[in-house]
Structure 1
Amino acid sequence: MLKYELIPEQLMHEGTITTANIFTPAACSEDVVLLTHDKAYLDKLLNQTLSAGEQRRIGFPQTPELTQRELMITQGTIDCCFYAMENGAAMNVAGGTHHAFADRGEGFCLLNDMAIASNYLLRQNLAGQILIIDLDVHQGNGTAKLFEHNPRVFTFSMHGAHNYPFHKEHSDLDVPLADNTDDETYLALLQTHLPKLLTDLKPDFAFFLSGVDILNTDKYGKLKVSMEGCKQRDAIVFSLLKQHGIPVTVAMGGGYSPHIRTIVEAHCNTFRMAVNIYG
């Protein structure tokens, strides 16, 4: 999508970031992917042997370039974890592929980057308790399923109750939102749940999926959150995580407003808010 090029260009143009703040990841290695995904499924991606039905479920026709892109996005999320440990927060301009399961992709997601990164941190003893804060308008069904029996990764999802996926998995905490949920209701629910999670769970690392498909302009979101409300959402998450001393890796997730400038502005606001709060 065009937004992946426009977001860093806008941030550099306005001086929010410089080239020193940008890194380009390599492809994630197979052994790291296999901490989360089944070998048979990864082999299909690498060898371009997905069935027509599997490709329809993902929403993309398979290509070697698409698989390579997904492997780079995944490694980008892992690399962000190390930057976050140093600086408090780090951002992947892509990522948030939360509909990918161990054995299949769905909803434009081939590999689950936050799940892979979480399992990598746990395997390397770089984290003991992880919190995934999924504020995309769509439930992170793949992420929920992947960690349903793993108490070291807590999945928290605030999402449209009547939106894709229509069969929801069970996150550790699901907060389904009614159609037309506005700023006041949305932000109040976030302020109710997230502080308590941080106090009770005491995570030592967090992932934040900052989808901007919650906007009232989104073609598919069904919510009524304003641009300012979306900014305040990001401010709440970053401020609380900083207050608790929890490093966070952020992935952009979805955004489907009719005008690309709206999508780019909303995603750029997430970067701007991180810079404001973490300096």
Structure 2
Amino acid sequence: MNPLRAYYAPAYAAADSTPSARLQLLADRLQRCARVELCEPRPMDIGLLQGLHSDEYTKAFLDGTAPLASSQGVAWSPAIRDSVLAMLAGQLDAADHALQHGIAMNVARGFHHAVWSRGGGLCALNGLALVAHCRPDRRIFVLDCDEHGGNGTEEFCARLGNLYSASIFGTRFGCYGGTRSWAFPVNVGRDGFATYLDALQAARTLIVEHAPDLLIYQAGVDCHRNDPKGRAGLSSLQLLQRDRWVFRMARELRVAVLFVVAGGYQDAQTLMSLNANTVRAAVNTYCVGSLAR
């Protein structure tokens, strides 16, 4: 089988922050992997954003108009804008590749808190909803395993008839379930890992029922027990077990999968290692050899 295709551009990590720094560390790691092909996405076609968010917000973010341009919670700058646009371009290229070849990765942070009228929770534009927006003929199902519920994606599910979402989270973040959207709060530290597996199984049932063309997997690691924002309480091994479960499920169901690394707030080296485990699970599940040379 061909190597795992992973999309990344230096602009992804242009912002000066730990969440951005770990993306460059991960890209450097993947560059040394024999069974991962790192590719730079094509430039973002700004016209594809039309109609995704409100015209007022889209224009404000592209132009840097205060205060709306910084509504994600990060002060706007051209570098922030260009980073977001590069990651969105990678999202669309990775979606195309996954639909053609079964799996792809975008080395991007999460998008799931951006709602129609503004950004939020460090998410400027919703790159999960963007895939459904640009592929109206395809059913897109988001399996969101970030620490925080995908409230923005949930809102977009009610707006886009081809978008579905199941969030498994430790922190609700306004995610309660709704139209084509389901919420699964978990606390592994209190209730055990079996409860997390039960939530994954419930999500699998929904995926089978709705038969998507593409599964977008938010493989967040801020649900790790040592993360300063983490409440779900997963260990490193349990995160790896989660990743293996998702990739095996996608392969068994013969549904194409695009995955992103999403959230994480520990030091950059720790986050890179946890994200690399997710890549290892994908590589091993799809029989493309070992992660390291």
TM-score, with structure 1 as normaliser: 0.88
| Counterpart check, 1:173 vs 2:192 | no
2:278 to 255, 259, 270: 270
**Does the 8 Å CA contact 1:138/1:159 hold for their aligned counterparts?**
yes
**Does the 8 Å CA contact 2:175/2:183 hold for their aligned counterparts?**
no
CA distance in 2, matches of 1:47, 1:154: 31
CA distance in 1, matches of 2:239, 2:75: 32
**Does the 8 Å CA contact 1:180/1:223 hold for their aligned counterparts?**
yes
Question: Could you report, residue by residue, the CA deviation over 1:175-213 in whole angstroms, capped at 9, with x for unpaired residues?
Answer: 0123735433212321x2133112211112111111011
Q: Which amino acid aligns with 2:153?
A: T
Secondary structure of 2:32's counterpart equals: helix
Aligned residues: 265
| Counterpart check, 1:87 vs 2:101 | yes
**Does the 8 Å CA contact 1:137/1:159 hold for their aligned counterparts?**
yes
Distance 1:23 1:221, change over 3 A: same
User: Once structures 1 and 2 are overlaid, which stretch shifts more, 73-82 or 87-96?
Assistant: 87-96
**Does the 8 Å CA contact 1:91/1:251 hold for their aligned counterparts?**
yes
User: Could you tell me the percent identity over the aligned residues?
Assistant: 27
How far is 1:16 from its partner? 4.5
CA distance in 2, matches of 1:99, 1:169: 13
**Does the 8 Å CA contact 1:145/1:169 hold for their aligned counterparts?**
no
Q: Which amino acid aligns with 1:204?
A: D
Number of the residue aligned with 1:70: 84
CA distance in 2, matches of 1:218, 1:118: 31
Number of the residue aligned with 2:234: 225
Question: Could you report, residue by residue, the CA deviation over 1:27-70 in whole angstroms, capped at 9, with x for unpaired residues?
Answer: 4222211231111111111211121x762x42211111211111
Q: For structure 1, which runs of at least 5 residues remain unmatched after alignment?
A: none
The equivalences for 1:1-279 within 5 A come to 1-17=20-36, 21-51=37-67, 55=70, 57-122=71-136, 125=137, 127=138, 129-160=139-170, 163=171, 165=173, 167-168=174-175, 170-171=177-178, 172-178=181-187, 180-181=189-190, 182-190=192-200, 192-257=201-266, 259-278=267-286, 279=288
Q: For structure 2, which runs of at least 5 residues remain unmatched after alignment?
A: 1-19, 289-293
TM-score, with structure 2 as normaliser: 0.84
User: Once structures 1 and 2 are overlaid, which stretch shifts more, 35-44 or 178-187?
Assistant: 178-187
**Does the 8 Å CA contact 2:60/2:69 hold for their aligned counterparts?**
no
CA distance in 2, matches of 1:62, 1:149: 27
CA distance in 1, matches of 2:160, 2:65: 31
Superposition RMSD in Å: 1.9
User: Once structures 1 and 2 are overlaid, which stretch shifts more, 229-238 or 168-177?
Assistant: 168-177
